[in-house]
Structure 1
């Protein structure tokens, strides 16, 4: 049987430990505490590392990893019953037989006919020095509203599927194209393209182009993709903000945030921009403003972009994805100077075929 000793009772001589040995030195007394502190710091560092790895994995999955929902958009549109799908199929089939148009110098006015559409592109420059702004204007008169078409990167629909505007344009036989709303960066919004519903997750203010050649600004949260399709909507764009509505510049647009999720949701300040406007029935105007290049073009604020659109006669105008995405393609080449030093891949374009 073991015997327990009272620590306060006098010790017998055979179990007595000299006083100098029973008292740990200062170094020994702190050693366990230091060891514990090291363990805590190591655990904290490990937790931070795991969090960083987890965060990087999440970010890669959210913003980089392609998530294909529809592998063949052309076939998908052709399989629907909408008139738009029939048109899409015919355009796709005839695209291989189309002849490329000779590129022109857009520093001066130029124009060409595309199917029943008439397109002219010109360059505008205002200001001087660090206040210089350079932008490109495409005036497009459609013969029919369905001549304004949309195409997706790699002919696929989903998230994080990207391709350069010029590449998507060339693959679809486009004479003219601009970058779209980068629908693939997010999983929200109402996405109707070429008369086909792709997504119905209302989230923001959108613009809808109808088959009768008109456009309207609308609140996605107050409707649905099915209701819009029933009203004759041909294409929607989900980015924003709306710039001009019924001829008037929309107030408060310099403070709008398009997305509130993780990512570059702030679009304030002088930036490269892409916008689309409607002057009257089947008469569209597209603008791409270059930026972030002092002496060539500083970019514009949202209000300045609205003023440009209003000055061009747009009764309705809408802001699309900008920054490095802002790209205008015409007659086989990119006519503006994207701010990244070259095109940035995007998820979609709007175009008029050759």
Structure 2
């Protein structure tokens, strides 16, 4: 994946070993992190440090639902566009209008169409999953955290987080819990304000923009109507064109594989128009089924789908797309791997 915690935290199975391509050598992040841990463990106190950094859950907020209820803009102003609007989508009145098929969902205001695309042949085969989503209200795209807690090293399967939140659709998020930096605003509530990298912000009025975290603050974003922010990246499409230099970006500065190059499983979100989004999960590391893609190839996919802006999310073994009660892609581990957060759309149909 793009940025993978050490094997102790999220164990790699044999199925997560990248497929080899003639003339190309791939190294996954867990190998480099493992090497770093060997160095750390050989030093005095290294074992304690490594365990605390990568294994021990550091819970900052033990009940996110309660925290959001107390801090959401809707809690003090019932007319504010916020979680109350999204909550209406799960009410009994709209549930009677919601319809679900194997590949579509509509509740009268939000529609989702999922599809599978396979390109190439042999070892160059790539398979990816697309969710075309149209919203009547930007706040219908919500976030949820593993175990309904916020902090570091707290993980849960994407499907489990989705089920706990009555999601009809979900993807893995930015794995905020691997790091302690970034601006994290979720469902209109600030959880972290440590600017560090290029982020993506979803506003309540339907705008979605790439921004530089280091030039602003969570408070400023919230005042401008921010609903959700993501802190991973990089942006791969801006102005309808692939961003230059994306193959050389480093997401993190801690030891391990800072870069996210090569053919990998990927997760991305793109903007087609106001309140019209596209989510993509590319499977990888599975020769003959899907080799994965580079960031430039991911940008090309998003452009072909009509995205004018697109942003890379946590990938590799975490890349997961969930729809109507099941994971529809084939994660590279041979099964789901825990992550710290998801983006999702609630199910108004009253069925799972």
TM class, shorter-length: 0.7 to 0.9
SS in 1 for 2:45: helix
How many positions carry a matched residue from both structures?
302
Which residue in 2 is equivalent to 1:187?
A: 180
Gaps of 5+ in 1: 1-47, 105-109
Aligned with 1:207 (options 183, 200, 206): 200
Which residue in 2 is equivalent to 1:66?
A: 57
Instruction: Describe the shift of the 1:203–1:125 C-alpha distance in structure 2 as closer, same or farther (beyond 3 A).
Output: same
CA offset digits 1:88-137 (Å, max 9, x no partner): 47867996988998772xxxxx2111462100000001000000000000
How many angstroms does 1:262 deviate by? 2.1
How many Å separate the matches in 1 of 2:182 and 2:329? Answer: 28
How many Å separate the matches in 2 of 1:293 and 1:265? Answer: 23
Q: Are 1:160 and 1:185, in contact at CA under 8 Å, matched by a contact in 2?
A: yes
Instruction: Describe the shift of the 1:216–1:93 C-alpha distance in structure 2 as closer, same or farther (beyond 3 A).
Output: closer
How many Å separate the matches in 2 of 1:305 and 1:278? Answer: 14
How many Å separate the matches in 2 of 1:260 and 1:124? Answer: 34
Q: Give RMSD over aligned pairs.
A: 2.4
Instruction: Describe the shift of the 1:269–1:115 C-alpha distance in structure 2 as closer, same or farther (beyond 3 A).
Output: same
Q: Are 1:164 and 1:344, in contact at CA under 8 Å, matched by a contact in 2?
A: yes
How many angstroms does 1:264 deviate by? 3.6
Which residue in 1 is equivalent to 2:341?
A: 348
How many angstroms does 1:60 deviate by? 1.2
Which residue in 2 is equivalent to 1:54?
A: 45
Counterpart mapping for 1:2-151 below 5 A = 51-52=42-43, 54-83=45-74, 87-88=82-83, 104=102, 110-114=103-107, 116-151=109-144
Q: Are 1:103 and 1:330, in contact at CA under 8 Å, matched by a contact in 2?
A: no
Which residue in 2 is equivalent to 1:178?
A: 171
Q: Are 2:89 and 2:346, in contact at CA under 8 Å, matched by a contact in 1?
A: no
- Is 2:294 the partner of 1:301? yes
How many angstroms does 1:55 deviate by? 1.7
How many Å separate the matches in 1 of 2:238 and 2:333? Answer: 31
How many Å separate the matches in 2 of 1:179 and 1:121? Answer: 16
Flag the structure with more relative contact order, 1 or 2, with Cα contacts below 8 A and sequence separation at least 6.
2
Which residue in 2 is equivalent to 1:318?
A: 311
How many Å separate the matches in 2 of 1:199 and 1:180? Answer: 15
Aligned with 1:269 (options 262, 267, 277): 262
How many Å separate the matches in 2 of 1:198 and 1:74? Answer: 12
How many angstroms does 1:263 deviate by? 3.3
How many Å separate the matches in 2 of 1:84 and 1:251? Answer: 42
Q: Are 1:114 and 1:353, in contact at CA under 8 Å, matched by a contact in 2?
A: no
How many Å separate the matches in 2 of 1:244 and 1:194? Answer: 25
- Is 2:241 the partner of 1:245? no
Structure of greater Rg: 1
How many Å separate the matches in 2 of 1:311 and 1:231? Answer: 31
Q: Are 2:158 and 2:170, in contact at CA under 8 Å, matched by a contact in 1?
A: yes
Which residue in 2 is equivalent to 1:17?
A: none
SS in 2 for 1:76: helix
- Is 2:213 the partner of 1:220? yes
How many Å separate the matches in 1 of 2:134 and 2:292? Answer: 27
How many angstroms does 1:56 deviate by? 2.3
How many angstroms does 1:265 deviate by? 2.4
